Structure 1
Amino acid sequence: MKILVLGATGGTGRLIVRDALAKGHEVVALVRSKARAAGLAGAELVEGDALDEAALTRAMAGCDAVVSSLGTAMSPFREVTTLSTATRALVGVMERQGVRRLVCITGMGAGDSRGHGGFLYDRLILPLLLRKVYQDKDRQEDAIRASALDWIIVRPTVLNDEPARGRVRALTDLSGVHGGKIARADVADFVVQQLTADTWLRQTPLITW
């Protein structure tokens, strides 16, 4: 399978590229600058902005699926629109190109996973530091849900750089869930699995250890 990865230069995105290549996929990475793409050996690099439909169209040529691991910095006061704007552009290009499979990473606190991060996360971190970001993640998820794509939205708990454990819990029933953590490497493995699996099709699994 040939896949396009957005956010490939981020901490999780790099691992997604590496994991996908290791599993035999062809990978195209849309990057703002090839100079910042060290460590993506084996991927085809296309320079461009994820907000630019022309760049997305160019990068998506010949692809069978897309992974979005786009992220944005904390923004306690300024409105955030990058994630939702890029995702609306992406959905439009995918629908025009006939590329159906989209696996998108958002996070714990998006949509109906809000309120399941534990006391510190739910009462302090999310409302004080991440509120604007998660409002945009909600808009991002809404754009995906409204599409005709074969989508899977993956919501990791708090990310870390510990070694992969090789197993995750994927949940849509969040009763009793109050926080959690997971390695970026395990997120990458789970995301790449969703390119060819329908278990979570059109669902929003929260993944954690």
Structure 2
Amino acid sequence: MKILVLGATGATGRLIVSRALAEGHDVVVLARSRARTAILTGVQIFEGDARDGAVLTRAIAGCDAVISALGTGLSPFQKVTMLSRATRALVGVMNAQNVRRLVCITGLGAGDSRGHGGFFFDRLFLPLMLRLVYADKNRQEDVIRASALDWTIVRPTVLNDKPAHGRVRALTDLSGVYGGTIARADVADFVVQQLVSSTWLHKTPLITW
């Protein structure tokens, strides 16, 4: 399978690229700066802004699926729009190019997972540091849900850089879930698995240890 990875130069994105290559997929990367892709090998690289439909059209040519690991930094005071704008452009291009499969990472606290992050995350960190970021994650999820694509939205709990467990819990019933953590490597494994699985099609699994 040939896949386009957005957000491939981030900490989780790099692991997704490595995992996808290990599984035998051909990987295309779109990055804002080619210099940031120097650590990636064995991939086809396009340089440009993920919000630009023309750039996305060139990058997605010949692809069978897209993984979006786009992220944004903390923004306590300035409105965030990058995630939703890039996703809106992506959905339009995927429709035009008849690419159906989209796996997108958002996070614990988006959509109906809000309120399941535990006291510190829900009462302090999210409202003080991540409120505007998560407002855009919610818009991003809304764009995907409204599309006719074959989508899966993956919501990891708090990410860490520990070695992979090799197993995750994937949940849509969040009763009794308040917080959690997961290795980026396990997130990468789970996301790449979804390329060839319909288990979580049109669903929003929260994944955790």
TM tier relative to shorter chain: over 0.9
- Residue 140 of structure 1 aligns with which residue? 140
CA distance in structure 1 between the aligned counterparts of 2:33 and 2:116, rounded to whole angstroms: 37
Q: Is residue 115 of structure 1 aligned with residue 115 of structure 2? A: yes
CA distance in structure 1 between the aligned counterparts of 2:188 and 2:96, rounded to whole angstroms: 27
CA distance in structure 2 between the aligned counterparts of 1:47 and 1:82, rounded to whole angstroms: 17
- Amino acid corresponding to residue 60 of structure 2 in structure 1: M
Say which SS state the counterpart of residue 179 (structure 1) adopts. Answer: coil
- Amino acid corresponding to residue 183 of structure 2 in structure 1: A
The correspondence of residues 10-159 of structure 1 with structure 2, limited to 5 A, is: 10-159=10-159
Say which SS state the counterpart of residue 154 (structure 1) adopts. Answer: strand
Q: Give 4+ residue runs of structure 1 displaced > 2 Å after superposition.
A: none
CA distance in structure 1 between the aligned counterparts of 2:32 and 2:85, rounded to whole angstroms: 16
Distance apart, 1:103 and its partner CA: 0.1
CA distance in structure 2 between the aligned counterparts of 1:201 and 1:141, rounded to whole angstroms: 14
- Residue 189 of structure 1 aligns with which residue? 189
- Amino acid corresponding to residue 69 of structure 1 in structure 2: A
- Residue 175 of structure 2 aligns with which residue? 175
- Amino acid corresponding to residue 113 of structure 2 in structure 1: S
Question: Cα deviation per residue 1:138-166 (whole Å; 9 max; x = unaligned)?
Answer: 00000000000000000000001000010
- Amino acid corresponding to residue 207 of structure 2 in structure 1: I
Distance apart, 1:118 and its partner CA: 0.3
Distance apart, 1:48 and its partner CA: 1.0
Percent same amino acid among aligned pairs?
A: 77
Distance apart, 1:100 and its partner CA: 0.2
Distance apart, 1:38 and its partner CA: 2.1
What do you get for the CA RMSD once the two structures are aligned? 0.4
Distance apart, 1:35 and its partner CA: 1.1
Question: Cα deviation per residue 1:81-110 (whole Å; 9 max; x = unaligned)?
Answer: 000000000000000000000000000000
Q: Gaps (5+ residues) in structure 2?
A: none
Question: Cα deviation per residue 1:129-188 (whole Å; 9 max; x = unaligned)?
Answer: 000000000000000000000000000000010000100000000000000000000000
Say which SS state the counterpart of residue 194 (structure 1) adopts. Answer: helix
CA distance in structure 1 between the aligned counterparts of 2:62 and 2:90, rounded to whole angstroms: 15
Distance apart, 1:40 and its partner CA: 1.1
CA distance in structure 2 between the aligned counterparts of 1:32 and 1:121, rounded to whole angstroms: 30
Q: Normalization by structure 2: what TM-score?
A: 0.99
Distance apart, 1:191 and its partner CA: 0.1
Say which SS state the counterpart of residue 42 (structure 2) adopts. Answer: coil
CA distance in structure 1 between the aligned counterparts of 2:107 and 2:85, rounded to whole angstroms: 17
CA distance in structure 2 between the aligned counterparts of 1:194 and 1:131, rounded to whole angstroms: 29
